[in-house]
């Protein structure tokens, strides 16, 4: 599936200047595929079909810069624990997806999200709803911006190409 997506803050010329590989990970049935479909087609799928592996490509313009965003959808089911890491190679950014289905989860999400951000060294924490499309674009805009303008790390330990968590 392909799409041309333009940020509300963008005026790019449509020619991608960079490729960004963005991998979504999370448990099965949390909405990873729904998030990607909502972002690329502005629709919400009503049927659940477990994903084994899929990817999408979109030319996206954020803050006047157009990039080719490769969106990699991974399987969340335990049966695919060995297959899933194959999609991680060359990733520039990861989106960690989870579902807010219980009242305690909903009430504590900001705190837990910030704690998770600190635990794994994520750059930022952003909530969205694929179903209502609330802040879906914000998630991907943040992912793109963090790759285009990486934060300065306190103590770089290695000089290897690294990826960023969102």
Which pLDDT tens digit goes with each residue over 38-72? 999 999 988 887 776 688 898 999 999 999 999 99
Tell me how many helices (H) and strands (E) the chain has.
3, 6
Spatial distance between the Cα atoms of 147 and 164, rounded to a whole number of angstroms: 7
Q: Please indicate whether residue 165 or residue 71 has the higher confidence score (pLDDT).
A: 71
- Architecture of the domain spanning 2-165: 3-Layer(aba) Sandwich (3.40)
DSSP E strands, the chain: 2-6, 19-25, 53-62, 65-74, 93-96, 164-165
Q: How many C-beta atoms lie closer than 10 Å to residue 119's C-beta? A: 8
Which pLDDT tens digit goes with each residue over 73-123? 988 777 767 777 888 899 999 888 888 774 544 454 456 667 767 776 788
Q: How many C-beta atoms lie closer than 10 Å to residue 162's C-beta? A: 12
Spatial distance between the Cα atoms of 72 and 54, rounded to a whole number of angstroms: 6
């Amino acid at each position: 599936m392909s799409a041309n997506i333009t940020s509300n803050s963008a005026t790019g010329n449509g020619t991608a200047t960079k490729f960004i590989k963005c991998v979504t990970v999370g448990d099965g049935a949390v909405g990873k595929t729904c998030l990607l479909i909502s972002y690329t087609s502005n629709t919400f799928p009503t049927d659940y079909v477990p994903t084994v592996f899929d990817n999408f490509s979109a030319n996206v313009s954020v803050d006047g810069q157009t990039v080719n965003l490769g969106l990699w959808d991974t399987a969340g089911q335990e049966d695919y624990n060995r297959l899933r890491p194959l999609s991680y190679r060359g990733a520039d950014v990861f989106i960690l997806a989870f579902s807010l289905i219980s009242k305690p989860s909903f009430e504590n999400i900001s705190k837990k999200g910030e704690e998770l951000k600190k635990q794994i060294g994520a750059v930022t924490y952003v909530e969205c709803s694929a179903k209502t499309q609330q802040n879906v674009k914000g998630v991907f805009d943040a992912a793109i911006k963090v790759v285009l303008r990486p934060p300065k790390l306190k103590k770089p330990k290695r000089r290897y190409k690294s990826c960023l968590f969102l």
